Structure 1
Amino acid sequence: MAASALKDFEELISRQFKIGTKVEISSNDEGFRGSFFSGTVIRDLKKSRNKNTTSYKVLVEYDTIFRDNSGTSPLSEEINVVQLRPIPPQDITRPFNISDEVDAYYNEGWWEGVITEVLEGQRYFVFFRGTREQLEFQAKDLRLHREWVRGIWEPPAQPHGRNIQETQQQEVIIEKPNKIPTDYKYSPGELIEVSSDEDGFQGAWFAAKIVEQLDNGNYLVEYKYLRNDENTDFAREEADSQHIRPPPPHIAVDRFEVHQAVDALHKDGWWVGVVSRVLSIRKYVVYFNVTKEKLEFKHSDLRPHQDWIDDKWVIPPKVLSFTCC
């Protein structure tokens, strides 16, 4: 980065995160991914250099996280500015719909999820991809999910008085999910996809088949492409039903768009990402939030992202629930 551009950048983030600014803080710690906690900047920007990398940090004080059990001493922490964002704009109160991307206030923070069921009395079921939990919330504890992308909120805040529900329906097309019976059970020989919680494999699904159901209710699976350590055969392992799903239904797509949620075929698995750049009619750059990588893919190695929620396939809105790109 040129010296003048670097200086402009430093001035911008200094103004954006000056002392007293209310912010939301994200975390990459295990068990906290996909959450934001409110706080206040209490010390100016600090610049540090490590080899060829420069980082910018500020000291923040959390609003709802404390050092002590009595809740009288707020936790303060030095945070990299890439983990900070302003407080999102407030929307006009409106009903949510199935497949809406939302933030749910839970355990003193805002957690990214998707509406899976609309209940009576302005109550909703919300599914959290990270933990594979589905919990019930009142409308007052939900907000439309937004991403802070290069200094702009996406989707943008709507002018006062505009019908947000109508606007969102125009901008986001949700296809009708393919329904599969509840309490779906897998049979020997059935083709499936398997996910993993291991570091380096989060956000990926690997093609496999069911070998047998075990006495503990889990399944023995055999991968289609992954080999065992001795490279003598395809790898087998035990997996529970929370990490197994049917292969998603095929959706024909002539062209992917920027910010579209996709699965990319990479290292023998399907990895969840977002299209960050269209290079040509058959070639794209995809951004992966877990690894912070941008990789180039052919059209044939991408598919529209779908979520397996409550035993049915759901097409998410155009912008997936993580910071892009």
Structure 2
Amino acid sequence: MEQTVFIRKDCKVEVYCEEEFKESWYRAILEDDPTESGRKKLKVRYLTLFNEDPWSTLTEFVDRSLIRPVPPEDLNAGVVFEEGLMVDAYLKDGWWTCVVVKTLEDEKCWVYFDSPPDIIAVENQKLRVHLDWTGFKWVRPDNKVKE
């Protein structure tokens, strides 16, 4: 069942970080109304990224193309983490896109990151199925073939 998702002022969103890390998404609150704002950039207030002082969350203007809704909460219902499955791993206060390369018996997976190239073990509870936002619906990409 497809569900239309709208983003509006004061809702939680995810923001793509293109400067520091490739393929990472950070939770934020949208502080501008995208339907009323004629600007190309919208103001967001991050929930996990802070200014130099640890009591003040980072706010910035980002291109609206880098903002998406928060993925559905029931993302992992019935999912089996298997080799080749594209997932997001929650690390360093954000969601990083990676691929499962091996499942481990202790509720962990070895996952591969493209940028920077790395393989690390991540607990299954810190993984979610990767979805791409098309602008109006979520799409699950095909599994990756092991090279």
The bucket for the TM-score relative to the shorter chain is: 0.7 to 0.9
**Number of corresponding residues:** 139
Other-structure match for 1:20? 10
8 Å Cα contact 2:89-2:126 kept in structure 1? yes
8 Å Cα contact 1:24-1:85 kept in structure 2? yes
TM-score in terms of structure 1 length: 0.40
Other-structure match for 2:50? 66
Other-structure match for 1:143? 128
What is the root-mean-square deviation in Å for CA atoms of aligned residues?
A: 2.1
8 Å Cα contact 2:45-2:57 kept in structure 1? yes
Please say if 1:34 is aligned against 2:17. no
Deviation at 1:173, TM superposition (A): 7.0
Q: 1:149 to 1:174 in 2, by over 3 A?
A: closer
Q: Which structure has greater helix proportion?
A: 1
Q: Distance in 2 between matches of 1:82 and 1:173?
A: 25
| Aligned sequence identity (%) | 27
Between structure 1 and structure 2, the one with the greater Rg is 1
- The amino acid that maps onto 2:38 is K
Deviations 1:91-138 (A, max 9, x none): 215330011000000100000000011111110111001111111100
Q: 1:97 to 1:66 in 2, by over 3 A?
A: same
TM-score in terms of structure 2 length: 0.85
Task: Show structure 1 runs of 5+ residues with no match.
Answer: 1-14, 49-55, 157-171, 178-312, 314-325
Other-structure match for 2:60? 77
Q: Secondary structure at the match of 2:13?
A: strand
8 Å Cα contact 1:95-1:139 kept in structure 2? no
8 Å Cα contact 2:131-2:138 kept in structure 1? yes
Task: Show structure 2 runs of 5+ residues with no match.
Answer: none
Q: Distance in 2 between matches of 1:106 and 1:155?
A: 21
Q: Distance in 2 between matches of 1:113 and 1:26?
A: 15
8 Å Cα contact 1:95-1:122 kept in structure 2? no
1:108 aligned residue (93, 99, 102): 93
Deviation at 1:47, TM superposition (A): 2.1
Q: Secondary structure at the match of 1:121?
A: coil
* Structure 1 segment 1-325 matched on structure 2, within 5 A: 16-29=6-19, 31-45=20-34, 46-48=37-39, 56-69=40-53, 71-90=54-73, 91=75, 92=77, 94-155=79-140, 177=146, 313=147
